Amino acid sequence: MNNNSKFLKEETLDPQNWDELKELGQSMVNDMINFLQTIREQPVWRKPPQAAKESFDKELPRSPQRFDEVYEEFRENILPYYLGNIHPRFWSWVMGTGSAQGMLAEMLAAALNCNVGIGDQAPMYVDKQVIDWCKQMMGFPAESSGALVSGASVANLNALIVARNSVNDKIRKWGLPEKMKLVMYASTETHSCIQKAAEIMGIGSEGVRKVNVNDKFEMDVVHLEKLIENDRAEGNLPFCVVANAGTVNTGAIDPLDKIFWICSKQDLWMHVDGAFGALLKLLPEYHEQLQWIEYADSVAFDLHKWMYMPYEAGVVLVRDANKHRASFALQPEYIVNNERGIAAGPELTSNFGFDLSRGFKALKVWMLLKENGIDKFKRLIRQNLEQAKFLEERIRASHELELMAPVDTSIVCFRYFKNGLGIKELNELNKEILIHLHETGIAAPSYTKLNGNYCLRAAIVNHRSRQEDFEVLVNAVISSGNELSKKYSLRNTKKEKAA
């Protein structure tokens, strides 16, 4: 120790050489824009090789490494082994594509590194602006409330907590009374996050009544009413119906009008899970089906799916802001707003959700909505719908392919079909086809099971897809199906492919 030195040698994380960092930063930006510009030429997916995986199985670093070297490791071991959802021929699960402009917006937000939870800071007003725009998109009243959260799972949870707490204003203090058996209703096609939310909220998975669906996978409201009646007869306390605006399996839209009337009559909270499908409300051709979102008590949807925004961006809207606040506001002395200074400004965002510290998600949404205007998003959503119709037609026209569910939105479920193969073989074969498409990097649909049948499933929420990409998909499924089916011996059955 050098006792002569009066000060400690102070350190910082700032670079020693800012000019060098600027140069590196510029090449990173250029590399990433080039990467997105040429993504079509890349395979949809590459399996991460052993060496790449091993590079993430190291001891906690002790000594420093140059930042440009770490970036080189990123280019070598991370960049090529992306999930694929940025690619024009990725239609797995329901995943958004993001955009180059979105990437830059994220960079700006990262530079400010602000906590959009409190403060008289412009980002708080941007956050509010974006929530207001979301209300306008969904036809929610200006005095309703909302929050930007990580995704629709959390947005659904947020809304359902408000629904639950609205049953009884003592729940927040005392938890659920032992005698109170709260039950909610959702169709069998509902996303798993609803069950998880019920488990977290003390409703329990058994408290989610599974309502049957019709042959178009839409909620059977006659069954809904029967279940409610049974519950009331048994002394249970129905409190909420979750309606789907676009189910994850097939894109089905529940009969929102009928669900709204049942909720009004039965005094139940109507929540809409519109993770991707709620955005169809922007299109006049869905007005009839989706105008009912305007009357729901709450709605959850994602901007990172069918608004093509970078992850993460989910939205929850609650009609009655007071109920929303009554579920989440809790302000210890150290976070009440002041009248002036940094701690003045808009209402704390934590009054409307569980997050206290929050990043500046709103910036990308604000920038991209301004850059494109809402009409551009409408056109892109419609483009995806037309692509789904095109794919549907190609499937219907093909002898080797079979459509497995109606195409209500932009999810297309289908399979390769061959006379003489039983259900077990068809399931196995279609799974093989899917994996083949992934491993060759040609295209990335995903899969689901409908009525026991393994289906290939294309969820088209991709602004980079072109019509020709669906030709590639169809041809690849047929040719790999023809090839892979050779190993099965055909039975002499006469079953014809359905519809």
The residues of the shown chain that bind ligand PLP, judged by CB under 6 A, are: 94, 151-153, 191, 193, 246-248, 273, 275-276, 302, 314
Nearer to ligand PLP, 165 or 250 (CB): 250
CA–CA gap between residue 270 and residue 247 (Å, rounded): 16
- The CB-of-303 to ligand PLP minimum distance in angstroms stands at 9
278 or 426, CB closer to ligand PLP? 278
- State how far the Cα of 278 lies from the Cα of 138, in Å rounded to an integer: 8
Report the residue closest to ligand PLP, judged by CB.
151
Nearer to ligand PLP, 156 or 480 (CB): 156
Closest approach, Cβ 153 to ligand PLP, in A, equals 3
> Strands 411-416 and 453-459, how do they pair?
antiparallel
Report the candidate in 244, 148, 249 with the shortest Cα–Cα distance to residue 194.
244
Of 401 and 411, nearer to ligand PLP (C-beta) is: 411
The least CB distance from residue 147 to ligand PLP, in Å, is 14
Kindly tell me which of 394 and 457 has the beta carbon lying closer to ligand PLP.
457
Closest distance to ligand PLP from the beta carbon of 352 (Å): 18
Do 455 and 447 form a contact (C-beta atoms < 8 A)?
yes
Nearer residue to ligand PLP within complex by CB, 203 or 243: 243
CB of 211 to ligand PLP, least distance (A): 15
- Two tokens, residue 323: 């109920």
Measured from the CB atom, is 117 or 246 closer to ligand PLP? 246
User: Are the C-beta atoms of residues 243 and 194 closer than 8 Å to each other?
Assistant: no
Shortest Å distance, C-beta 477 to ligand PLP: 23
Nearer to ligand PLP, 124 or 362 (CB): 362
Phi-psi sector, 199: left (phi>0), alpha (psi -120 to 50), beta: alpha
Beta carbon of residue 41, minimum distance to ligand PLP (angstroms, whole number): 29
Contacts 24+ apart (CB under 8 A), 36-42: 36/86, 36/99, 36/100, 36/103, 37/100, 39/86, 39/87, 39/88, 39/464, 40/87, 40/88, 40/464, 42/87, 42/441
Nearest distance in Å: CB 487, ligand PLP: 35
At its nearest, how many Å lie between ligand PLP and the CB of residue 124? 24
Nearer to ligand PLP, 297 or 402 (CB): 297
- At closest approach, how far in Å is the CB of 344 from ligand PLP? 33
Task: Tell which residue, 479, 478, 484, has the closest CA to residue 425.
Answer: 484
Number of residues in the chain: 499
Residues 6+ apart with CB under 8 A from 307: 96, 279, 313, 365, 368, 377
Q: Which is nearer to ligand PLP, 127 or 254 (CB)?
A: 254
Distance CA 11, CA 64 (A): 14
